Amino acid sequence: MESWLIADIDTLAKYYGQGFNKTAIPRNNNVEKIPKAAIESALRRATQQTRTKGEYHKINHGPEILARIDVSIVRKKAPYCDRLFHRIADIGG
């Protein structure tokens, strides 16, 4: 899930607001290739100075961020996410 979150860095920045450190988030056109530990560490660093939300917390922040991210951006940077959406569409007919 965190891979999908960092794919849309602008939404992350908007969600966390003042103090969010965009430069802490690794840039990669395929976010699914970034190791999970690196993503989790980057999210902690990027959010540790935010004022209203505080440091990233999967349970407290993850669902709300997922609801806000731009799916088209995520699908471009996360091939397995794109594949999942195609598969769901195929099943839904």
CA dihedral 41, 35, 80, 28 (to 10 degrees): 80
CA dihedral 56, 58, 59, 60 (to 10 degrees): 20
* Res 90 pLDDT > 70: yes
Give the range of the structural domain holding residue 41, as residue numbers without chain letter.
Answer: 2-92
Residue 28: phi and psi, rounded to 5, are: -160, 135
Report field, pTM of the whole predicted structure over 0.85? yes
Digit-coded pLDDT (tens) for 21-77:
999 999 999 999 999 999 999 999 999 999 899 999 999 999 999 999 999 999 999
Confidence at 93, pLDDT banded by 50, 70, 90: low
Amino acid at 29: N
> In the chain, how long is the greatest CA-to-CA distance?
45
* Res 92 pLDDT > 90: no
Structural domains counted in the chain: 1
